[in-house]
């Protein structure tokens, strides 16, 4: 049996400015025991992107629920997913035309997952994303964020050249979808070069199969909604959306206990900062360690981008949410 929940919480920045939530999600269960879930994030700078996000998740979820059948092969399921993206974008364009909206103000990301008998199929556009829970008990990224070198998102409107569809290669027991406000908390910058690059302890909290089976989907959704709503605004000010599909008929092996341990954030932060200090100011490093910039005779003034300079001067990076979120998570459990 597949359990599911979905949560969308308006970001504090939008609430403060009186801007409606621009995230959206939807889930559906298929008669044959499969399930589909979708998340979308309307681009924050665009006036009608929330409309696009809501329309996108509704159309792709319902199209997949209607057309995916138990006896379908991989190619047919992926075809249905691809068709759903086309239909969603066409519907957004039609709605924009009907309401005389500028289409440039109607961009959204879109990430969709179909979970069926341990098989995971996905479609993806933009900087939301998906993380799988495999039968081996590992959490693995399914998608990569689609942004250019300046951090600009590739939305659904960019079309099939940018859309990504696939079948995950491993057998899975669950999948978590999230818009970027939460996704980057599950994939914090401090872990990006570590052997385990995901915040496993937090992912396990969000994908608690035994709790879902015992307490039910509504209780799980309420617990996650409370948790997400409590994330401090100074750490994640964006809208936040998460969808989880869990198949309790797929057994999950346990990894060694240390796999689920809370990371040592202080150690990781210092390691991460030192690595970027070395990139920013290589001449300030000697074999015996780091020489602080204020003790150097000459500070570099060229060849260092703003992000690297900020880190080198020991300021907090923008994506440091995990350092505070682990406190909230620890209190929950």
Residues 6+ apart with CB under 8 A from 216: none
* pLDDT-derived band at 312, boundaries 50, 70, 90: very low
- Report pLDDT for 293: 54
Query: Is the model's pLDDT at 150 over the cut of 90?
Result: no
Query: Is the model's pLDDT at 292 over the cut of 60?
Result: no
Query: Is the model's pLDDT at 33 over the cut of 50?
Result: yes
Class of domain 2-260 as given by CATH: alpha beta
User: Are the beta carbons of 206 and 244 closer than 8 angstroms?
Assistant: yes
How far apart CA 81 and CA 320 sit, in angstroms, is: 34
Q: What rounded mean pLDDT belongs to the chain?
A: 86
DSSP-derived letter for residue 254 is P
Q: What angle do CA 267, 236, 329 make, to 5 degrees?
A: 60
Strand residue runs (E) in 225-268: 240-247
- Report pLDDT for 129: 97
Q: Where are the domains of the chain?
A: 2-260, 265-332
Least confident of 133-137, 195-199, 285-289, 312-316: 312-316
- Report pLDDT for 324: 43
Residues 6+ apart with CB under 8 A from 155: 43, 107, 108, 109, 125, 126
Least confident of 45-49, 184-188, 222-226, 246-250: 45-49
How far apart CA 93 and CA 112 sit, in angstroms, is: 20
At 164-194, the pLDDT tens digits run 999 999 999 999 999 998 999 999 989 988 9
Name beta bridge partners: 175.
Answer: 132, 245
Instruction: Tell me if residue 322 falls in helix, strand or coil.
Output: helix
- Report pLDDT for 32: 86
Query: Is the model's pLDDT at 222 over the cut of 90?
Result: yes
Query: Is the model's pLDDT at 84 over the cut of 70?
Result: yes
Mean pLDDT, residues 49-59 taken together: 95
- Report pLDDT for 301: 43
Reference 42, options 228, 165, 143, 179; nearest CA is: 179
Query: Is the model's pLDDT at 73 over the cut of 50?
Result: yes
What sign does the dihedral 221-222-227-230 (CA atoms) show? positive
């Amino acid at each position: 049996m597949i359990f599911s929940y979905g949560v969308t919480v308006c970001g504090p920045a939008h609430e403060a400015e009186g801007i409606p939530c621009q995230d959206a999600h939807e889930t559906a269960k298929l008669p044959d025991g499969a399930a589909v879930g979708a998340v979308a994030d309307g681009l924050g700078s665009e006036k009608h992107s929330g409309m696009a996000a809501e329309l996108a998740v509704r159309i792709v979820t319902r199209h997949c629920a209607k057309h995916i059948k138990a006896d379908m092969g991989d190619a047919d399921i992926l075809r249905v997913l691809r068709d759903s993206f086309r239909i969603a974008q066409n519907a957004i364009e039609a709605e924009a035309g009907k309401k005389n909206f500028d289409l440039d103000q109607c961009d959204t990301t879109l990430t969709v997952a179909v979970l069926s008998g341990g098989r995971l199929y996905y479609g993806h556009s933009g900087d939301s994303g998906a993380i799988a829970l495999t039968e081996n008990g590992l959490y693995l990224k399914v998608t990569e964020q689609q942004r250019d070198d300046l951090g600009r998102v590739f939305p659904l409107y960019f079309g099939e050249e940018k859309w990504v569809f696939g079948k995950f290669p491993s057998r899975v027991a669950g999948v978590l979808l999230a818009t970027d406000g939460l996704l980057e908390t599950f994939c914090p910058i401090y872990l990006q070069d570590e052997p385990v690059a995901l915040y496993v302890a937090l992912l396990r909290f969000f994908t608690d199969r035994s709790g879902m089976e015992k307490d039910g989907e509504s209780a799980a959704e309420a617990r996650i909604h409370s948790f997400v709503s409590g994330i401090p605004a100074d750490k994640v000010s964006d809208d936040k959306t998460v969808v989880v599909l869990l198949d309790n008929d797929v057994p999950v092996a346990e990894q060694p206990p240390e796999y689920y341990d809370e990371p040592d954030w202080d150690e990781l932060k210092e390691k991460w900062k030192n690595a970027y200090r070395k990139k920013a100011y290589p001449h300030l490093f000697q074999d015996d360690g780091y020489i602080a910039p204020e003790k150097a005779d000459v500070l570099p003034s060229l060849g260092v981008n703003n992000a690297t300079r900020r880190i080198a001067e020991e300021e907090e990076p923008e994506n440091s949410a995990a350092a505070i979120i682990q406190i909230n998570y620890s209190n929950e459990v």
